[in-house]
Amino acid sequence: MLYPTTTPTRALLDLSGLWKFMIDEEVTPIDVTKPLPTDEVLAVPASFNDQTASQKIRDHSGYFWYETNFDIAKPLRSQRLVLRFGSATHEAWVYLNGQEITHYKGGFTPFEVEINDYLQASNNRLTVKLSNLLDYSTLPVGHYSESKDENGHLVRKVDENFDFFNYAGLQRPVKIYSTPQAHIDDITVVPDVDLAAKSANVHTTIKAAGDFDEVKVTILDQAGKEVVSGEGTDEVLTISNVNLWQPLNAYLYTAKVDLIKNGDVEDTYSEPFGVRKIAVQNGQFLINGEPFYFKGFGKHEDTYVHGRGFNEPVNVLDINLMKDMGANSFRTSHYPYSEEMMRLCDREGIVVIDETTAVGLMVTFGFDVSMLESDDYEDDTWKELKTAEAHKQVIRELIDRDKNHASVVMWSIANEAATFSKGAHDYFKPLFDEARELDPQKRPCTYTSIMMANPKTDECIDLVDVIALNRYYGWYIGNGDLKTAETSTRDELKEYQAKFPDKPIMYTEYGADTVAGLHSKYGEPFSEEFQEDYYRMSSKVFDEIPNFVGEQLWNFADFQTKFGIQRVQGNKKGIFTRAREPKMVVRYLKDRWTNIPNFG
Ligand code: GCB
C-alpha cells in the first residue's frame, strides 16, 4: 500500500477537521441511513479521549461513532477514488451514504477502500463506527469483562494488560486520493550495496492494475537528477558512486515509477528510498559495514489533548531534541507509529527499531525469577492467549507498510512477552519465520525481553538476531539500591555475553520514575538526582561489555497510563516531561552521547 501523496496524476483530499462524535450507549440501535443523532464534534486526527470535559467519554470502553460530510469535485469523479485511514483504533466499520463499505480490525496500520460505487453527486456522508475493546485475542492484549449498571445496562470494561492509556479513535489522517483507472498499487525497493565498489543494485518490484503497456522506473538523486532508468515490473538498476543513507546523515534517492499507455504517462508515483546495508555479525550490529551503537529511546505517541493522535509539530520537536542530545535512534514502542513519522526518520537519518502491537502477552505477572528457573515452570499465557492470528496480521501489515524505509533497521516482534514460559517457542517460531520470509530487505528481528526472561529462563533467545533487554535493576528490583543494581546489571550482561558470544546485546528499556522538579540531597528515588545517578550507574556497566551495541532508555517523555498506585497521572520515567521540558539528567546524557561516536 502506497503512502497517499499528490503526483502529476493523483489528487489528494484531506478529511481532517471537525467530525460529529458520539459514544454508543448500546440502548437504541444507530440507523446508519440517517445522520448521526448528535451535535457533539471532535477533531480528527486525534484520540477522542482528552477532547471533552466528560469523564464518561474519556473512560468509555465499547463502541463510538464519527461522521463527516464531503464533496468530490466533478473533474475527479471519473478517477478511481480511494478512501484511506492512516489508522482506526482498534476496530472500524465504515459506511458511506448509509452502506457498509469496509470493516477493519487492528488499530495502528492503514487500510483503504475504493468508493466510486457508493458516491453521490454531492454531500456524501461518511460514518465510522469504532471499538476500543481489547481482549485475549487482540493486540495489544486487554482483560475484557462485562457487568450491569444500576439500570441493568451492559457495562463493558477493558483493563489494559500494558502500561499506556488505551487511547482510541481516528488517530491518524483520513484521506481520499485519486488514481487513474490504470494505476500503480505498490512499489518495493531493495538496495543491495557493494560497499567496496561503492555501488548498489536496486531491485524494484512494481504492482500495477488496469490497462497499460509498460512500466518505467527512473532513479533520481537527491537533487532530482536522473541516475539510471529501466523498464519492467521487476528490475535491477545499478547506481554507481552511490551516496549511502547513514545514521544522522541521510541521503534519499527517489524511485519514480511511470505507468505508460500508448506513449502517455497514465499514472506516476515517486517513492523515496535510502541505500544502506544492515548486518549482524560477530556480536556487532553493522550499518554500512561499520559497528553501529544505538543511543536513544523507547517512545510513545502521546501528547496533551491529542492523546495518541498524530501530532506532527511534536514529532519534529522530538527528533530535534534527540539530535541535540547526540541520540541516533528509537524504538516504536509498543505499536507501529504514523507513516509521517517513519518518513521523517528517513529524512533525518534517525535509526528505528520498528515494533508490532504485540504487548501484554503475559497473563501472570511477578518478578519472582527463582520459580521460573525450575525445569517444569509453566504459566497459562500460551494456553489462554489467542493472539497468533492478530500477531501474524500485524507483522504482515507492518512489513508491508514499512518495507522500504531506510530508517527501519530491525523488527521488534513483541515487547515483554512470557518468553520464559513453556509454549513460548512454539508460539514465536512461526512468527519470526513469517517476518523473515516477508521482509524483502531481510532485516534482523528481535523481541524486547522482560526481567523474568534471563539467560537461564528465556526459551526463545535462539530466535533473535539481537538480544534486547528491558531491565529495571534499582527501580522495580531493589528500588533505590544502586550498588546492588550495578552488580546485578553487570552479572547478567556478562552471563548473556558468555552464553551467546555471537549475539549483540542492547538495552531497549531502563529507567526510573522521576517527578520533574523533585530534588533530594540524599538522591532518593523519584528525585531528579536519583534519575541521574541511575543512568550514570547503568552507563558505567554498559561500557564494560564488549558485545553491547546500544542503550535505548525508558522513556523519552512522561506519558499517560491507566490509574495505578505506581502511576501519578501517568508514567514519569521520561527524561523529558510530557510537555517536552528537560529533566536534569538530559545534560548528563547529552554529554555522554555526544562523546560516544555512532560507529566504533
Ligand atoms: C516495561 C514496559 C513499558 C512500561 C515500563 C515501566 O517493561 O515495556 O511499557 O512502561 O516497563 O515503566 O514500567
H helix intervals, 230-277: none
**560 touches ligand 1 (CB under 6 Å):** no
For ligand 1, atom 7, which residue shows the shortest CA distance?
A: 470
CA-nearest of 485, 421, 424 to 452 is: 421
For ligand 1, atom 10, which residue shows the shortest CA distance?
A: 163
pLDDT in tens, 75-85: 999 999 999 99
Q: In sequence order, what DSSP letters do the residues of 78-147 get, joined into one string?
A: TSEEEEEES--BSEEEEEETTEEEEEEE-TTS-EEEE-GGG--SS-EEEEEEEE----TTSSS-EEEEEE
**355 touches ligand 1 (CB under 6 Å):** no
Supply the pTM of this predicted model.
0.98
**471 touches ligand 1 (CB under 6 Å):** no
Pick the atom of ligand 1 nearest to 333's CA. 9
pLDDT for position 366: 63
Rounded distance between C-alpha atoms, residue 221 and residue 242, angstroms:
10
528-542 and 585-594 helices cross at what angle (nearest 10)? Answer: 20
**302 touches ligand 1 (CB under 6 Å):** no
pLDDT for position 367: 58
pLDDT in tens, 409-445: 999 999 999 999 999 999 999 999 999 999 999 999 9
Q: What percent of the chain has pLDDT over 90?
A: 96
- pLDDT of 372 > 80? The answer is no
Q: In sequence order, what DSSP letters do the residues of 511-546 get, joined into one string?
A: ---B-TT---TT--TBSHHHHHHHHHHHHHHHTT-T
The residue annotated as part of the active site, out of 509, 528, 529, 532, is 509
**510 touches ligand 1 (CB under 6 Å):** no
- pLDDT of 369 > 80? The answer is no
pLDDT for position 121: 95
The residue annotated as part of the active site, out of 67, 301, 339, 416, is 416
> pLDDT grade, residue 364 (50/70/90)?
confident
Read off the pLDDT of each residue in 239-251 and give the average, rounded to a whole number.
98
For the chain, helix (H) and strand (E) counts, in that order, are 10, 30
Alpha-carbon distances, residue 558 vs 61, 506, 511, 513, 583 (angstroms): 24, 22, 11, 9, 10
pLDDT in tens, 178-235: 999 999 999 999 999 999 999 999 999 999 999 999 999 999 999 999 999 999 999 9
pLDDT in tens, 85-142: 999 999 999 999 999 999 999 999 999 999 999 999 999 999 999 999 999 999 999 9
Pick the atom of ligand 1 nearest to 162's CA. 9
Tell me which of 141, 416, 526 to substitute to probe ligand 1's pocket, judged by most ligand atoms within 8 Å of the beta carbon: 416
Q: What is the ipTM of this complex?
A: 0.99
Average pLDDT of the chain? Answer: 97
> pLDDT grade, residue 160 (50/70/90)?
very high
> pLDDT grade, residue 380 (50/70/90)?
confident
Q: Is 509 a catalytic residue?
A: yes
For ligand 1, atom 5, which residue shows the shortest CA distance?
A: 163
- pLDDT of 375 > 80? The answer is no
Rounded distance between C-alpha atoms, residue 587 and residue 528, angstroms:
12
**573 touches ligand 1 (CB under 6 Å):** yes
> pLDDT grade, residue 286 (50/70/90)?
very high
pLDDT for position 11: 98
Read off the pLDDT of each residue in 557-576 and give the average, rounded to a whole number.
96
CA-nearest of 42, 41, 45, 39 to 16 is: 45
pLDDT for position 379: 81
Read off the pLDDT of each residue in 284-295 and give the average, rounded to a whole number.
98
Tell me which of 165, 301, 333, 470 to substitute to probe ligand 1's pocket, judged by most ligand atoms within 8 Å of the beta carbon: 470
**509 touches ligand 1 (CB under 6 Å):** yes
Q: Is 459 a catalytic residue?
A: no
- pLDDT of 378 > 80? The answer is no
Read off the pLDDT of each residue in 502-506 and give the average, rounded to a whole number.
97
pLDDT in tens, 30-66: 999 999 999 999 999 999 999 999 999 999 999 999 9
For ligand 1, atom 6, which residue shows the shortest CA distance?
A: 163
